[in-house]
Amino acid sequence: MTQLSVNVNKIAVLRNSRGGLEPDVGAAAAACIAAGAAGITVHPRPDQRHIRADDVFSLKALIADRVEFNIEGNAFAPARAGYPGFVQLIERVRPAQCTLVPDGDAQLTSDHGFDLRADGARLKPLITELKALGARVSLFVDADYADVGHAAELGADRVEIYTGPYAEAFATGDYTQALARCVACAERARAAGLGVNAGHDLSQANLGALKTAIPFLAEVSIGHALIGEALYAGLDATVKAYLRILAQ
């Protein structure tokens, strides 16, 4: 069955907008785990706009070995005040999975995947280092990236297909081509021996079609839509709704 990892960044956004400790990121993560989520995802950025390093350490203690911990981020991001650097964070936390994303401070959210040929020389030693720390490594890729199999040559275990364009097309009602690109990417990755994850703008509305088209998806990472939907239905009911879609 495809695993659901809940991204709790948006809980931190709400907390940071007011200051203080509420809403509590750890309590939200615990509620998702209790509802059946198989993992918790965070994407700590150096500018600390949402999840911060101290959140990551607290979540590690909360999660322990109950579910998988997935830390996303720019592996090339150096240390700065309040942020120890991506690799240093992984060394301290030792998550089950690292998802490497080519993003920077100027990006509102992740909006493209790696060019694995252009970035390969820098990625390969980092992947080796992260795997030596016990993490499974997944690389964020665009659905139409033809050379996705190169991720295996770099030492990655999985790729995460950037599903933002698919979600945007789904909202218009004309998503056949966008879904086909996701399927083709997943098939190329599987042929190269890679596991396949997917994430970005997935929701209860569009997840079912993606899962049906790619039944071998290992994991979906969902945050923005899930947290938004949970404002109306609650975290427990919303997580369980996603799990029902993935179980079909």
Answer yes or no: 72 catalytic. Answer: yes
Answer yes or no: 43 catalytic. Answer: yes
Q: Which value, in Å, is the radius of gyration of the alpha carbons in the chain? A: 17
The DSSP string of 165-221 is HHHHHHHHT--HHHHHHHHHHHHHHHHTT-EEEEESS--HHHHHHHHHH-TT--EEE
- Region label for 193, one of left (φ > 0), alpha (ψ between -120 and 50) or beta (otherwise): left
Q: Nearest 5°: phi and psi at 4?
A: -105, 120
The residue from 43, 150, 160, 229 that is catalytic is 43
Task: Please list the alpha-helical segments (H only) found in the chain.
Answer: 9-18, 25-35, 53-63, 86-93, 116-132, 150-153, 164-172, 176-191, 204-213, 224-233, 235-247
The residue from 72, 160, 219, 229 that is catalytic is 72
Predicted local distance difference test score (pLDDT) of residue 112:
73
Predicted local distance difference test score (pLDDT) of residue 63:
94
| Residue (of 121, 67, 126) closest to 98 by Cα position | 126
Predicted local distance difference test score (pLDDT) of residue 107:
54
pLDDT tens for the chain, 248 residues: list them: 899 999 999 999 999 999 999 999 999 999 999 999 999 999 998 888 889 999 999 999 999 889 999 999 998 888 888 888 999 999 999 999 999 999 766 555 666 789 999 999 999 999 999 999 999 999 999 999 999 999 999 999 999 999 999 999 999 999 999 999 999 999 999 999 999 999 999 999 999 999 999 999 999 999 999 999 999 999 999 999 999 999 98
Answer yes or no: 219 catalytic. Answer: no
The residue from 50, 68, 150, 200 that is catalytic is 200
* Domain map (residue ranges) of the chain: 3-247
Cβ neighbours of 151 (radius 10 Å): 28
**What class does CATH assign to 3-247?**
alpha beta
Cβ neighbours of 1 (radius 10 Å): 11
How does DSSP classify residue 80? B
Altogether, the residues listed in the chain come to a count of: 248
Q: Is the CB of residue 54 less than 8 Å from the CB of residue 87?
A: no
Predicted local distance difference test score (pLDDT) of residue 105:
61
Predicted local distance difference test score (pLDDT) of residue 183:
98
CA distance 26 to 107: 26
